[in-house]
Structure 1
Amino acid sequence: MAHRFTPRRALGGTGFLATALGAGDLADRSVPKERCVETLRRALDAGLNVVDTAPMYEDGYSEEIVGEALRGRRAGVFLVDKIDHLDRPVAPQLTESLRRLGLGSVDLLVLHSCSEPEAWRRAKAPGGAMAELAEEVARGRARFRGISSHHPDVLADALASGQCDVVMFPVGPYCHPRYVDEILPAAKARGVGTICFKTFGAGKLVGDTEGYGRPLAQRPRGKVSSGGDDAPAPTLPRLSVEECLRYTLTLDPDVALLGLSFPNEQDAAFAAAEAFRPMSGGELAATRGRAAEAIRGKGEVWWDPNDGS
């Protein structure tokens, strides 16, 4: 497969030149591990050089897949891993992650889903989890530190604290406007890298799901036929992969992190990235409007703050 995704862009002040797309969690225990490994390697063969994982993704299965996929080809790949339990010591959690990965270090170590202001207050305090991340950087088991978050207030304070090299947060057609209007420019102004997720709204924008392939708890039925049988449920409003990715790339985070779990998903995303042209302001607004229709009735939008901010 020919290498794509050039030119690359600086990932904040890390010195790493990243591809516009990154490969996120692709673990699925219903799929043989070797096939998952091959899928990730396929993305690497296409030129992607940012890979994200976490212990909680299929209970460590994702880390095992990533570690195997990177065996013999670790150089030139920016590897992101996470600390899932913010109330537990960092070092033992990272030790277990590195064991599953079969590696001695990761590039970026982040606090996973640090989305409650109180959790962030504890993490940033002297001796808190961010200080523990700094210790891991000093030990050489990570090169950079940061957080992933679903709350603009937390992200704004994290940027102001100067404790993050990279922040991870939602950017896509259905995301709270503060992520784009406030957090993205603030990160760029401070030289902090941005790795953004939820381009497809956890799949809700491109399919009939409550997120990540889960079936809808309730969905509309078709009209009753003359024979009394229900017609197939109608397809709900949705956006295309190209529309969603074009939207996110127009907003220009350093990296748009996608699932890319199957070859057909990769091909659709790669084609959309290669055909990219920025949206106008009117196109962005129209896409947001269609996204609001596409996500209606598909369950909780957990990546937006629920406190009225």
Structure 2
Amino acid sequence: MHTRQLGKNGPQVSAIGLGCMGMSDFYTTGTDTTEAIATLHRALEMGITLLDTADMYGPHTNEELIGKAIVGKRDQVFLASKFGIVRDPQNPGGRGINGRPEYIRASIDGTLKRLGIDTLDLYYQHRIDPEVAIEETVGAMAELVTAGKVRYLGLSEASAQTLERAHKVHPISALQSEYSLWSRDQEHNGCLATCQRLGVAFVPYSPLGRGFLTGALKSPDDFAADDYRRFNPRFQGENFARNLLLVKQVQALAAEKGVTAGQLALAWVLAQGDYLIPIPGTKQRTYLEENIAALDVVLSSAELQALEAIFPEDAAAGLRYPQEVMEMLNQ
């Protein structure tokens, strides 16, 4: 397994991680727990060490699933989880954001219990709370490090300016944000450059465009009734059709190279710098193994340019989230 360093002073972790959200939430109901655990075990067998979850996935059930899967395997895993997005059990679609110190202290205790561990390797603030100064939030997170409950700190979907301020309070090891061929705003909003300058790992989630860049999705009708993507602008109507034309061009390049479209898209992310550690999500062993094989795909400068010509910034039709969710990003 190829490895990359998690930030300037962090450990070596697998060069790609495993995003675990879809094993429990958002993409369909009736998840196959047996296959999900088998996928987690296969990931560890193949050398993936970085597993990514959050307390809001489920909510809570994804952490419980991972806790069950890693019994007796704790020393093989670098565990990352997140706090800060609050879900209302009475209104599953509702969202709140909380970055208050008292909430953080309660959240970590719940996460540790569900994962069945004493110390979490990496703790992210899932979304920035505009009502709480980042210095106050990160100060409370730093207290968890001092208490031995957390080893490293991270932020998710934070702006470059917020990352700068947070890093002055306590070293931030990772910034997690969406980044892929069709979501390239991080190149121009200062986040990638700031990560490089500060020595912060950049962790792209959805590096395969929530499955779209694999070419496996042919129609919005492919989604289950409760699939989150039905409500994502990029997967709706004319936007879906326009984006599909772009993906077909990626598929053609992949066919010429003898790899899958997903492997080509993931290899492009990996090629953007060794401080990037993407976390493609899957709940099936077959796709896991396909993703890991992307580590051996080497792209020439001509191939990189061809991919970027297909997907320049803003090429994708539609916002990457509904408007009300977009307002929570880059805070």
1:215 paired to 2:230: yes
- Residues 66-122 of structure 1: per-residue CA shift (max 9 Å, x gap): 1122111111421111112324521111111111111111101111122x6x35x62
- Checking the alignment, whether the CA contact within 8 Å between 2:183 and 2:320 is kept in structure 1 is no
- Checking the alignment, whether the CA contact within 8 Å between 2:182 and 2:314 is kept in structure 1 is yes
Q: Number of residue pairs matched?
A: 284
Distance 1:20 1:180 in 2: 24
Distance 2:10 2:328 in 1: 35
Tell me the equivalent position of 2:309: 286
Runs of 5+ consecutive residues of structure 2 not aligned to the other structure: 85-97, 251-260
Given candidates 85, 99, 114, the residue that maps to 1:86 is 99
- Residues 147-171 of structure 1: per-residue CA shift (max 9 Å, x gap): 1115444345444655422221232
Tell me the equivalent position of 1:33: 33
The alpha carbon displacement at 1:49 in A equals 0.8
Tell me the equivalent position of 1:168: 176
Secondary structure class of the residue paired with 1:203: helix
Distance 1:57 1:307 in 2: 18
The alpha carbon displacement at 1:299 in A equals 6.6
1:296 paired to 2:317: yes
Distance 1:167 1:292 in 2: 22
Alpha carbons of structure 1 residues 193 and 300: separation in structure 2 relative to 1, 3 Å: closer
Superposition pairs of residues 199-214 of structure 1, within 5 angstroms = 199-206=207-214, 207=217, 208=219, 214=229
Distance 1:192 1:300 in 2: 25
Alpha carbons of structure 1 residues 38 and 20: separation in structure 2 relative to 1, 3 Å: same
Secondary structure class of the residue paired with 1:255: coil
- Checking the alignment, whether the CA contact within 8 Å between 2:267 and 2:298 is kept in structure 1 is yes
Tell me the equivalent position of 2:162: 154
Secondary structure class of the residue paired with 2:133: helix
The alpha carbon displacement at 1:64 in A equals 1.0
Tell me the equivalent position of 1:104: 118
Distance 2:182 2:23 in 1: 24
Given candidates 121, 133, 147, the residue that maps to 1:122 is 133
The alpha carbon displacement at 1:262 in A equals 1.3
The alpha carbon displacement at 1:249 in A equals 0.8
Aligned-CA RMSD value = 3.3
Letter of the 1:277 counterpart:
L
Tell me the equivalent position of 2:296: 274
Distance 1:105 1:14 in 2: 18
Alpha carbons of structure 1 residues 205 and 276: separation in structure 2 relative to 1, 3 Å: same
More moved, 91-100 vs 173-182: 173-182
Distance 2:19 2:143 in 1: 26
Alpha carbons of structure 1 residues 103 and 308: separation in structure 2 relative to 1, 3 Å: closer
Q: TM-score, normalised by structure 2?
A: 0.73
1:193 paired to 2:201: yes
Distance 1:306 1:34 in 2: 34
- Checking the alignment, whether the CA contact within 8 Å between 1:27 and 1:61 is kept in structure 2 is no
Given candidates 262, 269, 277, the residue that maps to 1:248 is 269
Distance 2:107 2:204 in 1: 24
Tell me the equivalent position of 1:67: 67
Distance 2:127 2:174 in 1: 14
Superposition pairs of residues 51-66 of structure 1, within 5 angstroms = 51-66=51-66
- Residues 228-286 of structure 1: per-residue CA shift (max 9 Å, x gap): xxxxx999332421232122111123311110221222122122222233544523421
Tell me the equivalent position of 1:263: 285
- Checking the alignment, whether the CA contact within 8 Å between 2:134 and 2:165 is kept in structure 1 is no
Superposition pairs of residues 41-52 of structure 1, within 5 angstroms = 41-52=41-52
Larger radius of gyration: 1
1:136 paired to 2:148: no
Alpha carbons of structure 1 residues 73 and 218: separation in structure 2 relative to 1, 3 Å: closer
More moved, 260-269 vs 209-218: 209-218
Q: TM-score, normalised by structure 1?
A: 0.78
Letter of the 1:80 counterpart:
A
Alpha carbons of structure 1 residues 111 and 187: separation in structure 2 relative to 1, 3 Å: same
Distance 1:39 1:307 in 2: 30
Runs of 5+ consecutive residues of structure 1 not aligned to the other structure: 221-232
Secondary structure class of the residue paired with 1:236: helix
Greater share of helix: 2
The alpha carbon displacement at 1:62 in A equals 0.9
Alpha carbons of structure 1 residues 15 and 162: separation in structure 2 relative to 1, 3 Å: closer
Tell me the equivalent position of 2:91: none
Tell me the equivalent position of 1:226: none
